[in-house]
């Protein structure tokens, strides 16, 4: 996302595994950090270094963010939620801000229900017109690692950079709960309930 020292970032699902890693990276850069999470995760996130936790369950997070930033917005939003949520995240950007999209968690469900949720999310996704981006001086980008099998060198470069952070201690992976392979369904249900802080792992 090109985040620099002194800039501000909004991390959605800040208590998830990717969210925590993004928080660690942003703090190492020297950015001001905002993050959406359920209230029960705020204490953990503050201890982790999040400057401004925002409750998204009991209030509209966008006006809260605008108040915290004096209506300035942020330089980078990291959004794994998708659907109409991307439109709100785009509205949270300041001039020259970037919206990074890397998932559609709003459509996470199994079977027919999951297909309907995915269709709904697809219909609600905003369309970013080039002229609108030009006039607003904003940018959007997406990432799907599942479509990067043909770029192993690039992925290896990213992994290497992350491992430097892990080895130096400023990226600290957090495992919330471990399930056996036989409990894979329970693990997915646990994640979909959004109770986890950090990663959920499967073990033999």
Q: Rounded to two decimals, what is the model's pTM?
A: 0.89
* 8-142: CATH number: 3.40.50.720
Tokens of 177: 């709960």
* The pLDDT of residue 86: 94
pLDDT band for 187, please (50, 70, 90 cuts).
very high
Mean pLDDT of all residues in 133-149: 94
Average pLDDT, the chain: 92
* The pLDDT of residue 196: 92
Spatial contact of 20 and 12, defined as CB atoms under 8 Å apart: no
pLDDT band for 188, please (50, 70, 90 cuts).
confident
Q: What is the pLDDT of residues 106-140, one digit of tens each?
A: 656 556 666 666 677 677 788 999 999 999 999 99
CATH 3.40.50.720, the chain: domain bounds: 8-142
Q: What is the pLDDT of residues 66-81, one digit of tens each?
A: 999 999 999 999 999 9
Closest CA to 196 of 1, 7, 41, 39: 41
* The pLDDT of residue 111: 61
């Amino acid at each position: 996302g090109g985040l620099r020292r002194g800039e501000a970032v909004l991390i959605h699902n800040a208590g998830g595994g990717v969210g925590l890693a993004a928080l660690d990276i942003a703090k190492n850069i020297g950015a001001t950090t905002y993050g959406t999470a359920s209230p029960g995760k705020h204490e953990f996130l503050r201890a982790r270094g999040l400057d401004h936790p925002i409750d998204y369950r009991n209030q509209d997070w966008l006006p809260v963010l605008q108040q915290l930033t004096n209506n300035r917005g942020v330089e980078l939003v990291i959004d794994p939620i998708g659907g109409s949520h991307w439109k709100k995240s785009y509205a949270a950007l300041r001039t020259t801000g970037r919206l990074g999209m890397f998932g559609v968690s709003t459509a996470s469900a199994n079977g027919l229900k999951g297909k309907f949720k995915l269709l709904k999310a697809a219909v609600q996704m905003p369309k970013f017109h080039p002229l609108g981006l030009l006039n607003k001086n904003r940018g959007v980008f997406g990432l799907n690692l599942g479509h990067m099998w043909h770029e192993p060198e690039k992925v290896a470069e990213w992994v290497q950079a992350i491992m430097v952070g892990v080895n130096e201690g400023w990226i600290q992976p957090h495992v919330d709960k471990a399930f056996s392979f036989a409990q894979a369904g329970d693990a997915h249900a646990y994640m979909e309930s959004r109770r986890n802080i950090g990663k959920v792992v499967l073990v033999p």
